[in-house]
């Protein structure tokens, strides 16, 4: 089953410095029928104004992944980490037994856009941790490039859960496929338009996929997408 969620159905928050589009219940938005998909809890598409951001706040028992799509994000936490994550990089933070962090747009002149993804960990009370990883844009052309994995191999960020996050840029009329038995898939169309088996996704659309062992994705125009393989 492929369940498509059009971009315009996402809940939108706009408070001046933050324009956020939410795929799941988060903050002021609560829908009891839309709180998670498998172990996935949050998918926020955030645009943050220059010099603005989220002040120090706590997290626990959550795996948090940030994928920067435009500009750069400055991270600070009580573990002593201070780092700037830019386009082409991925940030993974494990809240574990408790962490306090802040996130800001690293630029005072340009907006930043990033996807923030939350997943339930495979174990509670883990030691809090943080890392960034860099991926090669060329290696995701017309193929799925893993950027987050449970093993943390091949320059991927290591996450404490049985899942993998892939990015792909697909040229017009090109196709890729993904095969996994007894798994769920979350698909986010970052840019472009593509056919996914019998469904069509446009920019900003998401899909939640279950009980399908093979996905065939054909780009109807140049396309940039994220695919998450979930238990």
Give the number of domains in the chain: 2
Q: Range of 30's domain?
A: 10-135
pLDDT (tens digit per residue) in 47-100: 999 999 999 999 999 999 999 999 999 999 999 999 999 999 999 999 999 999
Query: What is the per-residue pLDDT for 226?
Result: 98
- Do 23 and 130 lie in a common domain? yes
Residue 196, in any domain of the structure: yes
CA atoms within 13 A on the CB side of 14: 2
pLDDT (tens digit per residue) in 11-56: 999 999 999 999 999 999 999 999 999 999 999 999 999 999 999 9
pLDDT (tens digit per residue) in 149-181: 999 999 999 999 999 999 999 999 999 999 999
Q: Does the predicted model carry a pTM greater than 0.95?
A: yes
SS (H, E, C) 20-50: EEECCCECCECCCCCCCECCEEEEEEEEECC
Domain CATH for 49: 2.60.120.10
Question: What is residue 126's DSSP assignment?
Answer: P
- Do 60 and 97 lie in a common domain? yes
Q: Which of 102, 97, 98 is nearest to 83 (CA)?
A: 102
- Do 161 and 191 lie in a common domain? yes
- Do 37 and 90 lie in a common domain? yes
């Amino acid at each position: 089953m492929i369940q498509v969620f059009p971009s315009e159905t996402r809940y939108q928050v706009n408070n001046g410095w933050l324009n956020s589009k939410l795929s799941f219940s988060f903050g002021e938005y609560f829908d009891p029928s839309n709180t998670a998909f498998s172990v996935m809890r949050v998918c926020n598409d955030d645009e943050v104004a220059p010099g603005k951001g989220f002040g120090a706040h706590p997290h626990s028992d959550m795996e948090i992944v940030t994928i920067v799509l435009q500009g750069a994000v400055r991270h600070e936490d009580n573990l002593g980490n201070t780092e700037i994550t830019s386009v082409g990089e991925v940030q993974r933070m494990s809240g574990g037994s408790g962490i306090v962090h802040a996130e800001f747009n690293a630029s005072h002149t340009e907006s930043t856009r990033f996807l923030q993804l939350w997943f339930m960990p495979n174990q509670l009370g883990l030691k809090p941790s943080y890392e960034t990883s860099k991926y090669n844009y060329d290696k995701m052309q017309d193929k799925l490039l893993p950027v987050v994995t449970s093993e943390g191999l091949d320059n991927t960020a290591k996450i404490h859960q049985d899942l993998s996050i892939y990015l792909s840029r697909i040229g017009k009329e090109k196709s890729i496929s993904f095969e996994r038995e007894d798994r769920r898939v979350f698909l986010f169309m970052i840019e472009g338009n593509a056919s996914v088996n019998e469904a069509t996704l446009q920019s900003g659309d998401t899909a939640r996929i279950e009980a399908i062992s093979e996905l065939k994705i054909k780009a109807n125009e140049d396309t940039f997408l994220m695919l998450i393989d979930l238990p």
